[in-house]
């Protein structure tokens, strides 16, 4: 057995702060913020006390809706130190999605930033919970969201009905260290402290419950694959609300005493500037981010000579991009990782010394202490090397389950504790895996996982739509785009723009169909099942995307 860490989040941070007290923990050059691990540990203690004073207790659910601001990573540890569960909210969400997550998660508090792109978070929250205006902070009573009591604003000023985050740090001043320690000592590393929402082909988003042990050990092994030490510095442009941000980045760093250098919202030049200014040795990103950085007109003006490693993940990596990242960005030890939220999230990863062929043609081999097998989709029998089947995984990294969804959990994790990923894969005799398809028809657009069923359920609420099928089609920039094949009710007229306008402001922009096709019927199997792969094939032909389809690595 490879090394395993037996910590809670609080005891892990205390251990790292003891070992590397004066090493940088969290750095925001633009904000002039630079916290050592000693300071970061102390600050998260103060915020944890503030949460206790606010009435947040072990087991309570605390949602966060913000870009990569400092408070995000501070709250990741402060909530865990008191055993409350951090519910991460996608920064792209609109009102309907926010309401669903707050309701389904039983969130007691929401920490929210100012907004992202075209969404004003404060106004959106007021739309969802109009009672908040005119209510004293912490006294919210909402019929729609009965659990929600607190809204805490992370920006400047204090909107009506909310508490300012800055007040939180001082609120717990009268709570002693002994009091906080008593709470910390009551925690178990196998308790849930993180909940992330992932959609499914069978319905609405599901809350994936992850424990201290899940994300600490997954983060540790991810960092080991990159050979992280306390001397590394990771530039983090990927969002914290994804496992990519809060585990592959934050937990990989903290388990090794590595410095975290976040970029608040992705901007290719800001990433280049940050790497140079902070002498970063590693950078994470989805392929589209790396492409944007490489193709930025000022790319050659930046000194990236300190770069060594990082992770490219989220969607298949084109070989030419990988070669350019190694050659032009100096990241000759860049790695590829594969997994899903339900597995904390990384299942397989390439290693720094793997040849480039393996780093592009595969998603690596299983992390230490992780089991992987490929099974026949029909029989469930294990398959030999070279045969395609469903990738299943078992180990410490598998989630506790989906929140309040026991049937969905039972469908995902079998009686022998194997997590069924829904991904088609082939494994070679050395354990290296290649992902060849998706049983679930999931769409991956620029690193965002999009589940057709969720968009279909939403579009079914359009008064003119009688049926709709959503699927992905190849795209040069994002890997895939969303397409909807729509059947209109009899004797009505509808345009593509009408469908898209219906979506705007109600579902995240990246989920809005780029292509809308009106159809009279769908290709069906003999047993009456709609064949989405045929809809996709027809669309590829009509849109003349054959060259992109043949270039895809799956």
- Whether residue 201 has pLDDT greater than 90: no
Task: Tell me the pLDDT of the chain averaged across its residues.
Answer: 93
If pLDDT is split at 50, 70 and 90, which confidence band does 490 have? confident
DSSP for 239-256?
A: -TTSHHHHTTTHHHHHTT
Segment among 46-55, 96-105, 319-328 with least mean pLDDT = 319-328
Closest-CA residue to 12 (of 275, 240, 252): 252
If pLDDT is split at 50, 70 and 90, which confidence band does 456 have? confident
Q: Is 467 exposed, middle or buried (0-12, 13-18, 19+ CB in 10 A)?
A: middle
The span from the CA of 503 to the CA of 289, in Å, is 26
For the chain, the 3-state helix, strand and coil shares in percent, each to the nearest 5, are 35, 25, 40
Structure tokens that stand for 484 in this block: 């909807």
Rg (CA), the chain: 23
- Whether residue 453 has pLDDT greater than 70: yes
- Whether residue 440 has pLDDT greater than 70: no
Using an 8 Å Cβ cutoff, are 176 and 184 in contact? no
Cα of 401 vs its chain's centroid, Å? 17
What CATH number belongs to 10-15+31-187? 3.40.50.12780
Render pLDDT for 308-366 as a digit per residue (tens, 0 to 9).
999 998 777 777 888 899 999 999 999 999 999 999 999 999 999 999 889 888 999 99
If pLDDT is split at 50, 70 and 90, which confidence band does 45 have? very high
pTM: 0.86
DSSP for 161-213?
A: T-EEHHHHHHHTTTS-HHHHHHHHHT--TTSEEEEEEEEETTEEEEEEEEEHH
Q: Is 535 helix (H, G, I), strand (E, B) or coil?
A: helix
If pLDDT is split at 50, 70 and 90, which confidence band does 442 have? confident
Averaged pLDDT for residues 176-204: 88
Backbone angles phi, psi at 374, to 5 degrees: -110, 125
Render pLDDT for 258-306 as a digit per residue (tens, 0 to 9).
999 999 999 999 999 999 999 999 999 988 899 899 999 999 999 999 9
- Whether residue 552 has pLDDT greater than 60: no
Give percent of the chain with pLDDT exceeding 90: 82
Q: How much is the pLDDT for 531? A: 78
Pairing of strands 346-349, 365-366: antiparallel
- Whether residue 221 has pLDDT greater than 60: yes
Using an 8 Å Cβ cutoff, are 122 and 95 in contact? no
Q: How much is the pLDDT for 199? A: 60
Averaged pLDDT for residues 214-221: 98
Q: How much is the pLDDT for 527? A: 46
Q: Report the helix count and the strand count for the chain, using DSSP H and E.
A: 19, 28
Higher pLDDT, 368 or 548: 368
Instruction: Match 């609405």 to its residue by tokens.
Output: 204
The span from the CA of 335 to the CA of 320, in Å, is 15
Averaged pLDDT for residues 439-458: 82
Instruction: Match 């410490």 to its residue by tokens.
Output: 396
Q: How much is the pLDDT for 202? A: 43
Higher pLDDT, 534 or 262: 262
Higher pLDDT, 462 or 439: 462
Out of 310-319, 404-413, 455-464, give the one with best mean pLDDT: 404-413
Q: Is the dihedral of CA 60, 65, 71, 77 positive or negative?
A: positive
Averaged pLDDT for residues 130-156: 95
Superfamily of domain 443-551: ANL, C-terminal domain (3.30.300.30)
- Whether residue 203 has pLDDT greater than 70: no
Q: How much is the pLDDT for 549? A: 72
- Whether residue 197 has pLDDT greater than 80: yes
The span from the CA of 210 to the CA of 192, in Å, is 5
- Whether residue 524 has pLDDT greater than 80: no
Domain boundaries, the chain: 10-15+31-187, 443-551
């Amino acid at each position: 057995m490879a090394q395993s860490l037996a910590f809670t989040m609080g005891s892990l941070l205390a251990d790292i702060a003891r070992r590397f007290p004066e090493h940088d923990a969290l750095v925001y050059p633009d904000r002039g913020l630079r916290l050592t691990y000693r300071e970061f540990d102390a600050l998260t203690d103060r915020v944890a006390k503030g949460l206790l004073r606010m009435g947040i207790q072990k087991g309570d659910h605390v949602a966060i809706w913000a870009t990569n601001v400092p408070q995000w990573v501070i709250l990741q540890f402060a909530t865990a130190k008191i055993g409350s569960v951090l519910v991460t909210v996608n920064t792209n969400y609109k009102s309907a999605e926010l309401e669903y997550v707050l309701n389904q998660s039983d969130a007691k508090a929401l920490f929210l930033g100012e907004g992202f792109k075209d969404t004003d978070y404060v106004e959106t929250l007021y739309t969802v919970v109009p009672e908040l205006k005119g209510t004293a902070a912490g006294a919210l009573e909402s019929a729609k969201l009965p659990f929600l009591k607190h809204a805490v604003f992370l920006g400047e000023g204090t909107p009506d009905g909310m508490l300012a985050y800055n007040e939180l740090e001082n609120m717990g001043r009268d709570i002693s260290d002994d009091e906080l320690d008593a709470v910390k000592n009551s925690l178990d590393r196998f308790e849930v402290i993180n909940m992330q929402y992932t959609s499914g082909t069978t319905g609405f988003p599901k809350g994936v419950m992850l424990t201290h042990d899940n994300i600490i050990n997954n983060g540790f092994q991810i960092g080991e694959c990159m050979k992280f030490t306390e001397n590394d510095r990771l530039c983090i442009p990927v969002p914290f609300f994804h496992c990519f941000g809060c585990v592959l980045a934050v937990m990989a760093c903290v388990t090794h005493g590595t410095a975290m250098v976040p970029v608040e919202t992705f901007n290719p030049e800001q990433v280049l500037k940050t790497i140079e200014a902070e002498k970063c040795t590693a950078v994470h990103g989805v392929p589209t981010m790396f492409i944007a950085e490489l193709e930025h007109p000022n790319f050659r003006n930046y000194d990236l000579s300190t770069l060594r490693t990082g992770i490219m993940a989220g969607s298949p990596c084109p070989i030419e991009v990988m070669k350019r990242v190694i050659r032009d960005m100096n990241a000759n030890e860049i790695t590829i990782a594969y997994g899903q939220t339900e597995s904390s999230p990384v299942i397989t990863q390439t290693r720094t010394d793997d040849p480039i062929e393996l780093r592009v043609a595969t998603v690596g081999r299983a992390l230490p202490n992780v089991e992987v097998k490929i099974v026949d989709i029909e029989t469930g029998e294990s398959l030999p090397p070279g045969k395609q089947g469903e990738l299943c995984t078992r180990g410490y990294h598998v989630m506790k389950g989906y929140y309040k969804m026991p049937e969905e959990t039972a469908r995902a994790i079998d009686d022998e504790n194997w997590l069924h990923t829904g991904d088609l894969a082939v494994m070679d005799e050395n354990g290296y895996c290649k992902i060849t398809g998706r049983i679930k028809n999931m769409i991956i657009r620029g690193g965002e996982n999009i589940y057709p069923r969720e968009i279909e359920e939403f579009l079914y609420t359009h008064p003119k739509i009688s049926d709709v099928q959503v699927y992905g089609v190849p795209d040069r920039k994002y890997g895939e785009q969303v397409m909807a094949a729509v059947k209109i009710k009899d004797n009505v007229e509808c345009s593509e723009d009408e469908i898209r306008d219906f979506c705007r402001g109600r579902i995240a922009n990246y989920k809005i169909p780029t292509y809308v096709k009106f159809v009279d019927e769908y290709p069906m199997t003999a047993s009456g099942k709609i064949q989405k792969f045929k809809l996709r094939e027809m669309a590829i032909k009509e849109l003349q995307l054959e060259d992109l389809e043949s270039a895809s690595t799956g």
